[in-house]
Amino acid sequence: MQGCAAWGETKLETDRRVIQKRIKILSDDIEAMKRARDTARKKRSENAVPAAAIVGYTNAGKSTLLNRLTGSDVLSEDKLFATLDPTTRAALLPDGQQVLFTDTVGFINKLPHNLVDAFRSTLEEAGYADIIVHVIDASDPQAEMHRRVVYDTLIDLGINDKPVITVWNKTDLIDEAALFRDFSADASVKISAKTGEGLDEFYSEVARILRESRVYIDTVIPYKNTSVVAEIRKTGQLLSEEYEEDGIHIKAYVPRPMAAKRELT
């Protein structure tokens, strides 16, 4: 028993108090980051640059991949939750298209209850992405469990309607013959973020999925349907809106399924 017991507090109580304090500090930090992100996101959505969120179990190699894609210097470490603040960087696909990649906090099984809300807000960035890049450490014997935790978390967050590209990472550490599949994904590639192997295929799959997932519209929405404009603002990218006599003239990129549902094309 430590000295604090003399004050009538057991070690367990002291630990709990220290942890609560730490959680409070982290939550405040995350709240401040959220405000900064909201501002940054508003700016981004004014351009029509597509966004990809890099998600995955902690330690899968998300930050390493972001660094590799954008030549940037995001903290990558062999420790849990190296990344808390999602970072966004621009990368150019070989076809010249610009894409914004956002690193996110690592997912984990059985997140402590009082951290769930804080993590949720950190992950909400993924909700604004056009495409989800799901990184899995293919060399980890628990890879299948990690894959499921990530899908379950995405469903929990209500992010289950976006195209997913599954990236089996760290293939430099495994037997070439190993077979990796993800039937839930729209595309699946094997890479090594460390050596750069497989990145060409990754880029071309990202380009393909983006091409297929969004459609450009230039149309007039009648004033009785203005809720459609609100929906576009939320799920698509509104480039311009002009109030005309017979409705709102909009130019926007919208998710293809939405364009079909609302008969916008």
Using CB under 5 A, list all residues that contact Mg ion: 62-63, 82-83
| Cβ(56)–Cβ(135) below 8 Å | yes
| Cβ(126)–Cβ(104) below 8 Å | yes
Find all residues with CB under 8 Å of 43, minimum gap 6, and list them. Answer: none
| Smallest separation, CB 227 to ligand GTP (Å) | 38
| Smallest separation, CB 253 to Mg ion (Å) | 29
CA distance 103 to 123: 10
Instruction: State the binding string over 215-244 for ligand GTP (x if CB under 6 A, else -).
Output: ------------------------------
Q: For ligand GTP, which residue of 37, 50, 51, 56 counts as binding (CB under 6 A)?
A: 56
- By CB under 6 A, tell whether 153 contacts ligand GTP: no
Helix (H) or strand (E) holding 247: strand 247-255
Say which entry of Mg ion, ligand GTP, none residue 122 contacts (CB below 5 to 8 A, set by partner kind): none
Instruction: State the binding string over 15-54 for ligand GTP (x if CB under 6 A, else -).
Output: ----------------------------------------
b/e 132-145 (16+ beta carbons within 10 angstroms → b): bbbbbbbbbeebee
Q: For ligand GTP, which residue of 30, 52, 69, 82 counts as binding (CB under 6 A)?
A: 82
